[in-house]
Structure 1
Amino acid sequence: MHGLSSFTPICRGCGLILCELNLPNFACPHCGGALLTPAAKDSLVESLETQIAETLAKEEEERQRAIQQARSAEGAFPTLSAAASRAGTPGPDVQATHPVNQTHKVLSLDSKTRKVKVSSYTPPAISRAASVEKLAKPKEAEPEYVHVPAPPVEVVCSPAPSAHRPWANTRGLNVTYVPSSRG
């Protein structure tokens, strides 16, 4: 059902074949012995620590790359102040000259009364940290490992088939042969 364990495919004590569900830090489910020698365990821990360090470095590099891309995308669409847009020359940054929670006036036309309606609008405050946090990946929950149960103590064997009826069902299921109706 499962593939062989990549760390310990066989118990060195009893010879039980181990699947990938039986982690190397577990004991053998049959004999209860350790699956790795202390030297093998130390080398495994060292290799896993280097893999973890490489993965963390790669994730940090990807996170920094995402932050840099967000900064460059933010700079790709500059905003112009009202005076600069009229003159055609670049001006100071709008966010630097206007306060963050400034109220804007919105003009709208009422279609029924055909009159102009003036309303106030305050945009929500947007921080750079919030936009960078959206780019970060959510943390995934660690999988819960289930201990592999020991095999049964008593081995169930089917009885040997009789000489006059070798095709008999030895599993004890009540199965009968139904001949084909196609003649």
Structure 2
Amino acid sequence: MSAIGLFALSSAGAASAAQPTAGAEPAGRYIASQPEGVRSSGHAVSPSGVDPAAIYCDGASCHGVDPVAARSSVDGYPCIVNAFTPAGAELSTPRGHVELLYSPHCHSNWARISGAAPGTRLWVQNWDNAVQEQFIAPGQHSAHTAMVNGRVSARAGLASRYTAWY
């Protein structure tokens, strides 16, 4: 997880400020948001709140975009803010721990893996059969895919093992 500058919190974790209000999102694991005005790269956004270096997208327009570099074209929030893994949308195998993530701001999904060996293939697929994949780079043990449209169900996996559709 640290390879992409994010960390997960359990829905009962101590850092509850990163979690949405009760009933706002399904139960799952949440990603802590960055401090106000700071992108995950550490660059400050402009006073107007528009980040000229970010890619703005929503749903289908997020296809192929890195979730760390993207912001919502609807509300301007980074796609990673309040992103979560739906309960049961993760898979532990000897090849790594896979999670399907969903962004409520960007209406998109992506996959993340940790504890993996270099060369492992990670993928995310949505119901429209849009697929993004990522291979673990030499010297790395974690990675994430680019996004797919999250307005339809999606699943994540590696090789022939995958999560259920969410």
User: Please, what TM-score do these two structures have when normalized by structure 1?
Assistant: 0.17
Q: Between Structure 1 and Structure 2, which shows a larger proportion of helix residues? A: 1
Bigger Rg, which one:
1
User: Please, what TM-score do these two structures have when normalized by structure 2?
Assistant: 0.18
Q: Between Structure 1 and Structure 2, which shows a larger proportion of strand residues? A: 2
